[in-house]
Amino acid sequence: MKKIKDYLRGAVPLFCCLLFGLDSLAQSYLSTDSELIVPRVYVSTGISFPEITTTMRVDSKSGLGTEIGLENDFKLNNKLSVFQLEAMVRLKEKSQIVFGYTNLNRGNSFQFEQDVNFGDTTFYAGASADLNFDVYYYALTWRYSFFDKPNWNAGLSLGARVVQFKANLEADVNARTYSQGMSVAAPAILIGVHAGGYLTPRLLGRYSLEYFQVSFSGVDINILETDVSLQYFFLENLSIGGGYATNTYKVNEVPLSDNFSGKVLFAFSGFNQFLSARF
């Protein structure tokens, strides 16, 4: 938690510097080219290359489950190439809405090195097992630009997130198969800051930071997302871009969930590359 707070404190001066930088660069650009770039829609699709860390515990009605690190204990791949999709629509002069989607699917066959309590099932050391762990990420964000200048804007955001975790664990012991599954969707409302602007007529930069925290009656959810990107329009309405994003999700119990009790700590960060069109 301290790390997240330090991250947020460091982001404030970064965001202020970005505002001054955008104002300076955009104004110098406009002094030589008065044509305003105000597309209504941006659509981007591409590949991200995240490095992933996952810790989880699935409890039963009779007690706590075993806390396991999926990358260390179950040898799931911690580096992937995953598809991502994003669309941004300018609603009015100062507001826009952003949609985002991605999913991460991983699986592995391994042998238990220790006894593991996973939900209502105990898997014993030495058993051969198969694990599938999938994550589906849905994002919807409304942005309002308090600073809405020609070719750049900045302001606050309000976002809704649903991150769905699905896990299925099977083990074979003495010609018998034991299985246990888990599926939980963690909804959240995030608040944040955003900024974006054309640094040159063809080079567009963006930055965003969004955060959420809630703690009550054993429920503890923390989410932090950041994203910075640059894209270059090699054609009038078509660009290629790259960026770096971080996402951290800490979920301890989920309100209104009847089929999950436990904890999930899921974090992924890395570079991405994408193709974008503006209309």
DSSP output for 30-75: HTT-------SEEEEEEEEEEEEEEEEEE-BTTB----EETTTTS-
> Which residues lie below 8 Å from residue 166, measured CB to CB, with a gap of 6+?
132, 133, 134, 135, 136, 181, 182, 183
pLDDT at 180: 87
Backbone angles phi and psi of 46, in degrees to 5? -175, -160
For the segment 198-203, the average pLDDT, to the nearest whole number, is 89
Antiparallel, parallel or unpaired: β 152-173 and 238-252 = unpaired
43 in a domain, yes or no? no
46 in a domain, yes or no? no
Half-sphere exposure of 34 (CA within 13 A, CB side): 0
Least confident of 117-121, 218-222, 239-243, 268-272: 218-222
Token representation of residue 168: 């299925």
Q: How confident is the model at residue 33 (pLDDT cuts 50, 70, 90)?
A: very low
Token representation of residue 194: 């955003």
44 in a domain, yes or no? no
128 in a domain, yes or no? yes
Q: CB–CB of 64/57 below 8 Å?
A: yes
The number of distinct structural domains making up the chain is 1
**Mean pLDDT, all residues of the chain:** 86
How far is 85 from 277, CA to CA, in rounded Å?
12
Backbone angles phi and psi of 153, in degrees to 5? -150, 160
30 in a domain, yes or no? yes
Antiparallel, parallel or unpaired: β 116-118 and 95-111 = unpaired
279 in a domain, yes or no? no
Residue 4 above 60 pLDDT? no
Other beta carbons less than 10 A from residue 93's beta carbon: 10
Least confident of 234-238, 243-247, 252-256: 252-256
Instruction: Give the amino acid at 221.
Output: I
> What is the domain-level CATH number for residue 7?
2.40.128
For the segment 59-74, the average pLDDT, to the nearest whole number, is 91
For the segment 43-48, the average pLDDT, to the nearest whole number, is 97
Residue 9 above 60 pLDDT? no
How far is 97 from 159, CA to CA, in rounded Å?
9
For the segment 175-191, the average pLDDT, to the nearest whole number, is 87
Rounded to two decimals, the pTM is: 0.86
Residue 225 above 80 pLDDT? yes
Residue 32 above 50 pLDDT? no
For the segment 91-110, the average pLDDT, to the nearest whole number, is 94
Residue 164 above 70 pLDDT? yes
Backbone angles phi and psi of 107, in degrees to 5? -160, 160
3-state helix, strand, coil in the chain (%, to 5): 10, 65, 25
58 in a domain, yes or no? yes
pLDDT at 20: 55
45 in a domain, yes or no? no
pLDDT digit string, tens, across residues 227-243: 999 999 999 899 999 99
Please report, rounded to a whole number, the percentage of residues in the chain having pLDDT higher than 70.
84
Range of the domain at 190: 2-38+51-274
